[in-house]
Amino acid sequence: MLNPAQADELIGQHLTCLPIESLPLAQCAGAVLRENIYAERDAPPFDRVAMDGIAVDSAVLQHGNRRLRIQATQAAGDPPLSLAAQTGCIEVMTGAVVPGGCDCVIPVEQITVRGNEAEVSSDAPVEQWQNVHRRGADTRQGALLLSAGGRLRAPEIAIAASAGMARIRVSSQPMLAVISTGNELVEPGDAILPHQIRRSNAYAIVAALRRHGFQRVADDHLHDDVPELRRRLKFHLETHDVLVLTGGVSMGKLDFVPRVLDELGVQTVFHKVAQRPGKPMWFGVASSGATVFALPGNPVSTCVCLSRYVLPALFTAMGQDPVPAEKMALGGDVSNTTGLTLFMPIRVEVDDWGRAWAMPRPTNSSGDFTALAGTDGFVELPPGPNQYPKGFVTRLHRW
């Protein structure tokens, strides 16, 4: 069997890069940028007032004149004024242009205003360009602000807006189909018999996809019936970029999914990974270019395989730059009694010294999804048999 790293490599070799689309900036949150963005102007584009107060000629105050006549008020967004006399001052607001003839801002806390005069406190420091955000101090016109391949979070959206980008080129969202299989599954809210179980995996997968910014997500449920599987999977392969199935991929008599996918011309890239949970995972590629992730039906296995393989593959297909692996120390001893890579659910806890620990939260089985409540993800531990003590640093995968 493949190990997880080999599975990663094979998935990466068979991904198809998603196309590019131009979207209004307001619709780009969470998308992957597919063009470089450069500064439209210097930032700040002018000498900018950094504190409410008065703008002055610093040389006048340094020579002992601390009482100044207030000439006018300069608000943010107004055209710049100019100082008419060196012995005067102009009231200024944060964000305003520094008036002509001024090179210093005295904060309101250090002045006393009487009528149309401002008296600067005797102990107030006076330095050229104090409390002034100089033009171009942050970046210069034409400088590279954002590189293609990055995710557009709130800060990146603000940067793109500052560069005047009303529309930007991003990766198209993949068309995703989440498909659960099994005769035993019953929708929440429907009447259920003692021998049936609730359909929960698909809801978890859809929730995770939406939480990570994927919006074009269809949901379907198929019974363990070959004709139905063949008909519906053929439809989804023709209309979607990625299929994420849960259930029907193990070695049981009614685990028809690999067989039907093969009949539909989907190439098997691998079936089974040397890991626990999630060993029966299946991955393949259709002639149309659609990729298929068939995840084991046990809920813990489904959640682990989704976070470990499916989500990273989707971001790679969207052109996102590789994200460095997150590492964290175990907060307790963990035994791996198998020769498989062990995925151990954890909760991140911070001690009194500010150190983060991955506290093990083992499940009773790969079907014990209730044990995942309150967890933050899982750590990846090397094949055993081995004992991994508290403090052992390993890779962390967040849900």
Give percent of the chain with pLDDT exceeding 90: 91
Please provide residue 55's backbone torsions phi and psi, each rounded to the nearest 5 degrees.
Answer: -95, 135
The whole model's pTM is what? 0.86
**Residue 254 above 70 pLDDT?**
no
Kindly report the average pLDDT of the chain as a whole number. 95
What's the rounded Cα separation, in Å, for the pair 213 and 190? 29
Within this chain, do residues 163 and 186 fall inside the same structural domain, yes or no? no
What's the rounded Cα separation, in Å, for the pair 65 and 120? 9
Q: For position 31, which CATH number holds?
A: 3.90.105.10
Within this chain, do residues 161 and 185 fall inside the same structural domain, yes or no? no
pLDDT in tens, 7-23: 999 999 999 999 999 99
Mean pLDDT, residues 287-305 taken together:
94
Alpha-helical regions (H) of the chain: 4-13, 58-62, 154-162, 201-211, 226-239, 257-263, 299-305, 311-317
Within this chain, do residues 204 and 310 fall inside the same structural domain, yes or no? yes
pLDDT of residue 367: 83
**Residue 310 above 80 pLDDT?**
yes
| Boundaries of domain holding 25 | 21-43+138-171
The domain total for the chain is 4
Within this chain, do residues 125 and 53 fall inside the same structural domain, yes or no? yes
Within this chain, do residues 14 and 26 fall inside the same structural domain, yes or no? no
pLDDT in tens, 351-384: 999 999 999 999 998 888 899 999 999 999 999 9
Within this chain, do residues 177 and 312 fall inside the same structural domain, yes or no? yes
Mean pLDDT, residues 57-67 taken together:
93
Mean pLDDT, residues 318-339 taken together:
95
Within this chain, do residues 304 and 231 fall inside the same structural domain, yes or no? yes
Within this chain, do residues 284 and 261 fall inside the same structural domain, yes or no? yes
Within this chain, do residues 37 and 123 fall inside the same structural domain, yes or no? no
Enter the tokens of residue 31: 């998308």
Q: Which of 282, 317, 352 is the last residue of a domain?
A: 317
What's the rounded Cα separation, in Å, for the pair 58 and 91? 15
Mean pLDDT, residues 178-202 taken together:
92
Rg value, the chain, Cα: 30
pLDDT in tens, 65-92: 999 999 999 999 999 999 999 999 999 9
Q: Which of 258, 291, 317 is the last residue of a domain?
A: 317
Q: Which of 292, 317, 342 is the last residue of a domain?
A: 317
Within this chain, do residues 381 and 359 fall inside the same structural domain, yes or no? yes
Within this chain, do residues 192 and 312 fall inside the same structural domain, yes or no? yes
**Residue 345 above 70 pLDDT?**
yes
Q: pLDDT-derived band of residue 179, with 50, 70 and 90 as boundaries? A: very high
